[in-house]
Amino acid sequence: MFRMLILCSFLFILAEGHPQITFKNNHNAQIYVAMCRYVSDGGYWMTTGWFTIGQGGERLVFDKISSRDTIGYWAMTTITEEKFEGTKNLVVNDDTKFTIKWADKQETADKNSYNHWQKFILLKLPPGATKGTISFK
């Protein structure tokens, strides 16, 4: 029991040192967000979504990332369908929850009729940064 407690404490301390990104919704509508990440040790893009953030709400969306990771997001408001998009084409799915590996491949898009392309905004944390917030306005 004592060894398990020490192991859990050690893992908690390790997790505390990893950078985190929080989304904050300052928009006048609820927002749906899909996120992406380049998994460097596997050499592939992965997308996941949909996450809902209510008006005035916050959500921790990236935890335990490193400064080497390229991450990103695509978002849309629920009322006006205003889009927050960038230039990186990746596959998402219209289902309520999804995770897609190899999200930059046409064959991945073709596997499911609910898959389609969206343009993600990519970002990297500055060296030494431990927390970041992305605000939707």
Torsion of CA 59, 122, 127, 133, to 10 degrees: -20
What is the residue-level pLDDT of the chain in tens, covering all 137 positions? 333 332 233 333 333 456 678 899 998 899 999 999 998 888 899 999 999 999 999 988 776 666 677 889 999 998 888 999 999 999 999 887 999 999 999 999 999 999 999 999 998 777 777 778 888 88
Six-digit token pair at 78?
């629920």
Six-digit token pair at 2?
């004592």
The domain locations on the chain are 19-136
Tell me which architecture the domain covering 19-136 has in CATH: Sandwich (2.60)
Q: How far apart are CA 128 and CA 58, in angstroms?
A: 23
Per residue in 88-118, pLDDT (tens digit) is 999 999 887 999 999 999 999 999 999 999 9
